[in-house]
Structure 1
């Protein structure tokens, strides 16, 4: 009985394998015939006729030769960004910061007898004035006087009053930025005076003489620049008087 059972199992397994192989073979043949027929039809459809030239199948906008790659110059135009970057001015020049002009203005203020260049002085450069105002407030703070608010407030109000006065005195006219720039640069001698106040008191005779000298220095420098920029020859003393009053307020902050 055991031999008969093994024989039946072997028989059914062999029949199953044979049937499965035959079915797979027929399926693969059918799929191959179907795929081959479709490929043949697609080839026949896409294959051009021998009587039609290949140029007929090219698009109308194609201007090149057949069987040759077209040029991509139209798709990648030459960019002019590199030339634009070369022609752009430096960043400091765009911000209005010119160290050469700042140095020339500083030397003009430090030397009251030096002639002023009106083309350079007639600029709204506020880099130097802001630095000198901060330096004045810092030196007053080192002397034990926190007067930043007074420095900024008197600077703004004084520039506004002098701007109005200079527009009334001159026919050319001047902008508020130019007035603020000139008065701010001429504040440099006052910074020197406040630096001296850190080490000794200015309430004696020597201090009073130093204060008067600094006020005269600042007012003469500012008036010289104003008459050069506004073409106000022969009116330096008239311009120097309100400038002396303006710088006298900062001198009072330095002394007391």
Structure 2
């Protein structure tokens, strides 16, 4: 054992002398890179999570956020009001339909496709495709009839055709329970389907035409001609239910 190395029980370092470290080629401060200067810990602490959101930072309280449906532009009271006005084709209130929207039509298309699916028919793509073509067809026909006075836009066409689709949804829902009410071999069942389908087409056509008359300028002059494309649109949808 070297003479300059001695056991020390008082906590002293036997190699504290700098000359001895330099002679041996050791660094007298080997752990300088491990500097744990934390500073003010309370200043860099993350914001505490409260029951309604972050108490600090860029996030506000959840109670200040608007509802999700409002952010998406979906108003259930407006959709309900527009639907109720369409249910009576003889007394149309045009005020709820001044602003067109797609929320209600999408709901009715999904319900229509769901009723068809329950009946064993997968028509979601057909319904969406026919709706797009029907709206384009109504848009072109009306603006050609109105000429320079044509002011019907495609967005309103989709909205009107979709809201008047509520009767097709009811017909499709009724057709699910019709085989259970009557025997499948009963001749009355086939006749009843055609009768209900015809009444539904007339109901949808009347509602859509009445809304066009009161919402679009110069539509009343071409009421009979506008009813023709509307009738063709809903005849196509009724065929999905009947067959």
Q: How does 1:18-167 map to 2 (within 5 A)?
A: 92-93=69-70, 95-117=72-94, 119-167=95-143
Task: String of CA shifts for 1:54-109, please: whole Å, max 9, x gaps.
Answer: xxxxxxxxxxxxxxxxxxxxxxxxxxxx9xxx9x9876455432333212210121
Distance in 2 between the 1:230 and 1:200 partners?
38
- Computing the radius of gyration from Cα coordinates, the structure with the larger value is 1
Q: TM-score w.r.t. structure 2 length? A: 0.64
Task: String of CA shifts for 1:147-200, please: whole Å, max 9, x gaps.
Answer: 111111101111111111122233141221110001000000000011111122
Alignment check: 8 A CA contact 1:109 1:186 kept: yes
Distance in 1 between the 2:121 and 2:171 partners?
14
Q: Secondary structure at the match of 2:176?
A: coil
Q: Secondary structure at the match of 1:190?
A: helix
- For structure 2, the 5+ residue unaligned runs are 1-59, 180-187
Q: Secondary structure at the match of 1:129?
A: helix
Q: Secondary structure at the match of 1:167?
A: helix
For 2:173, which of 195, 198, 201 is the aligned residue?
Answer: 195
What is the root-mean-square deviation of aligned Cα atoms in Å? 2.4
Q: TM-score w.r.t. structure 1 length? A: 0.61
Distance in 2 between the 1:90 and 1:140 partners?
32
Alignment check: 8 A CA contact 1:159 1:179 kept: yes
Alignment check: 8 A CA contact 1:108 1:221 kept: no
The equivalent of 2:192 in structure 1 is 206
The equivalent of 1:233 in structure 2 is 220
- For structure 1, the 5+ residue unaligned runs are 1-81
TM superposition shift of 1:227: 1.1
Alignment check: 8 A CA contact 1:128 1:185 kept: yes
Distance in 1 between the 2:155 and 2:72 partners?
15
Count residues in correspondence: 171
Task: Give yes or no for the alignment of 1:168 onto 2:154.
Answer: no
Task: String of CA shifts for 1:119-167, please: whole Å, max 9, x gaps.
Answer: 5324231111000000000000111111111111101111111111122
